[in-house]
Amino acid sequence: MHCRQQPVEEEFFIVTADGWRLAILGRQAIGPPCGVVLAGHAMMANRRSLDRPRGNGLITTFVEAGFHTYALDVRGHGASGPKAEEGADWSYDDILWFDLPAAITFVHGRHPELPLAVVGHSLVGHVILGLLGQFPELPVIATVSLAANVWIRRLEPSPLRWLKKLLAIRLMNLARLPFGRFPTRYLGLGNEDEASSFVRQFQVLLEQGDWCSLDGGIDYMRNAHRVRRSILAVVGSGDRLLCHPTSSVLFHRRFQGSRIWHWTVGGGDFGLPWGYEPDHMQVVTDPRSRPVWHAIAHWLHQRFQEVGQEVEPGFFEAGDRPSWGIDVSRDTRQNQDAPRRT
């Protein structure tokens, strides 16, 4: 009987430049390592969402594909306390300016000889792109955005969806007032309460009309052109509001200095079951999305093989590509894709 090899696992704690203690779960690659992945979660969630079912989820897929993999709890989430319900407060800017840089420095320092990619679900997916616009010299070879976009008017062409987003943000800001935080768990919307300043910043985005800092002084979109990376954006066809495929395309097209692949997955495509249209969370948490996870690992292998080559800007929709039903295992890394420029 074939016995599945279990990865070596270790939890680390690091301290950010502003003194916050962050937890990172590291798992060693199975077999000879070919790269490193730093993975981050969505708002109202924690790193556990990145490996469901545990030992057989997204980050396990990366480990089995030959990547040392690190799953980060951003401040106030998971094991990176204190929590919002304990009186802690933080903003979106704190995650961008302090948490991600500290995690990248730590992970790269452990494996300086290996290429590094950041895989972010929702929140961390757009935070890493905002960070690279500020610090394009960071040692990140590629990024993967899973259901990541920002809620500003020019990235939402649908009046109905924009009305729903306006209503959602305003209700979230009303809900935080009596609690001093957004009570995610009380409302049954997720596993982690969000800090008052974090939620208030989304109201600032609505008022300013920009992807900006809490004080409105920094426009993260303004530096999008400075990001020169290979970027893979993945969004579920069933994501009707939080990251609609159209909004995801409009967001990622802003990174004009990068080479971008955009995949909208579902409906039997990418080897997914027919009739399965993954939503905002399912693209990361549902085992039926596993063929997409393997395809992401395959994409990362290809980008790591290109280290040292100049990134040619372009935007590629999921069109011409290999059959994603293949087994993206260690003996199939040589397969080549042929994206189509649009």
The domain limits of the chain are 9-341
Output the pLDDT for position 317. 86
Name the 3-class secondary structure at 38.
strand
Neighbours of 242 (CB within 10 A): 21
- Cα distances (Å, whole numbers) of residue 122 to 6, 43, 65, 302: 28, 7, 23, 23
334 DSSP assignment: T
What is d(CA 52, CA 153) in angstroms, rounded to the nearest whole number? 33
Question: pLDDT for 213-235, tens place per residue?
Answer: 999 999 999 999 999 999 999 99
Which tokens hold the place of 183? 């009570």
- Whether 24 contacts 12, CB under 8 Å: yes
Average pLDDT, the chain: 91
Question: pLDDT for 288-331, tens place per residue?
Answer: 999 999 999 999 999 999 998 888 999 998 743 433 333 333 33
Q: Using the predicted structure, report yes or no on whether residue 280 has a pLDDT greater than 80.
A: yes
Q: Using the predicted structure, report yes or no on whether residue 92 has a pLDDT greater than 70.
A: yes
Output the pLDDT for position 8. 86
The CATH number of the structural domain formed by 9-341 is 3.40.50.1820
- Characterize the bridge pairing of strands 314-317 and 259-265: parallel
Comparing 100-109, 256-265, 302-311, the range with the smallest average pLDDT is 302-311
> Taking each helix axis from N to C terminus, what angle separates 100-110 and 123-134, rounded to the nearest 10 degrees?
80
- On whether the pTM is more than 0.85, the answer is yes
Portion of the chain with pLDDT greater than 90, in percent: 87
From first CA to last CA, the distance across the chain in angstroms is 48
Output the pLDDT for position 269. 86
- Whether 157 contacts 149, CB under 8 Å: no
What is d(CA 130, CA 101) in angstroms, rounded to the nearest whole number? 12
- Residue 3's pLDDT band, with cuts at 50, 70 and 90, is low
What is d(CA 22, CA 237) in angstroms, rounded to the nearest whole number? 33
Question: pLDDT for 148-159, tens place per residue?
Answer: 999 999 999 999
